[in-house]
Amino acid sequence: MNARHEPRGGSKGACLGLILLASAMLTTAARAQVPSDEMFDPSQMREVRVTMAADEWLDIVRNPDPDESGDTRVYRCAFSWNGESLANVGIRAKGQASREPESPKPGVRFLFNRYEGEELEGGDRRAEQAFRGLKKLDANSLRGDPSMMRDRLIENAAARFHLVCPRTMHVRFYVNDAYVGLYLIVDNYDQAAVLRRLFRDRNGNLYKYTWTRDRGADDATRWRGDDPETYVQSPPVFHVLIWDLDNSMVDFLPAELWIPRDIMRGFELHVLSRRVMNVPAWREAYFARVRALIDGAFAPSSVQAEIDSIREQILGAAQEDRNKPYTDAEFEANIALLRRDVPLRVENVRQQLAR
């Protein structure tokens, strides 16, 4: 496995292709209701309220980047979702490209267990804590997506297709009773409660591939030579987990560039994907999964209906969001483009499958 940075679209395209190919074989846990499900109920948008020292929130806004040691500063806050509160929660800036100093709308991560075990007066220790079973929760600022819905829209389609993906839901986000804007809360894979919900097998390692201009690839995904034994896991099974889809059906490329993208784009960049596609049975299995996707979970009529539903739900909160880096007109225009482009992309994929 040669883990290296590739042009953004090509590498991601190959990963999504392998996800589709593997999805028929995934072993996921039987779905049971858990306390956090209500937080991601798509029928009603709720509020997240944060109470913390004003100067510490200002520091998150002004200095979201990690310090020289690579650590991101964590501050203490009180967290409230839909009026249900938890004190002594960690909050820090999150993201990569979205970390922009002086942005009034930073992405943040809540660490509900940050201060458990902390020594209290009298020698006691602060008890373990979670919020509805979650130890972490991400709140994405939606700065990079003028439609403010791509992540939720595509991950909902992925969930309907029975792919492993995080739960997402829009919220109104407040800090010290001031409305910061429309955010998207997202499950964080890196916690036992989420992985138990997704998989029957509770053993294994969780890897995150991260690439930055300064540091290159994380050590966990680096090239270690030709000896296969250096990559063996126990058990030797990998699940590729969907994450960070706010640039799906990208608005920063014109339709004439992204709509006709080859459904084989990116496979040639990696040894594994090249070899898989050279086996006729696996190649046909991939094509069958693509057909099933565009005929079912990503059928244009279904996706367009969901675009309309999400727009209606978030419209007021989006218009009141004066911290978003685009205008209300750009928000509406981007949704219109997204709605227009879905059937065009699906039709192009059908044409490629018919070749």
Q: Which of 21-30, 105-114, 304-313 shows the lowest per-residue confidence on average (mean pLDDT)?
A: 21-30
The pLDDT value recorded for residue 3 is: 33
Residues above pLDDT 90, as percent of the chain: 50
Model pLDDT for residues 142-165, shown as the tens digit of each residue: 998 999 999 999 989 988 888 878
Whole-prediction pTM: 0.83
Which of 66-75, 162-171, 229-238 shows the highest mean pLDDT? 162-171
Model pLDDT for residues 238-272, shown as the tens digit of each residue: 666 776 777 777 766 777 778 888 999 888 887 87
Residues above pLDDT 70, as percent of the chain: 75
The pLDDT value recorded for residue 270 is: 77
Closest CA to 37 of 211, 203, 150, 194: 194
Q: Using DSSP, how many helices (H) and how many strands (E) does the chain show?
A: 9, 9
Q: Domain residue spans in the chain?
A: 8-199+233-353
Mean pLDDT of 39-50: 96
Strands (E) across 65-213 are located at 75-81, 84-93, 108-111, 136-140, 168-175, 178-186, 211-212
Collapse the DSSP code of 48 into the 3-class scheme (helix H, G, I; strand E, B; otherwise coil) and give the result.
strand
The pLDDT value recorded for residue 6 is: 33
Beta-bridged to residue 109, according to DSSP, are: 92, 138
Model pLDDT for residues 55-114, shown as the tens digit of each residue: 999 999 998 888 777 788 999 999 999 999 999 999 999 977 677 888 999 999 999 999
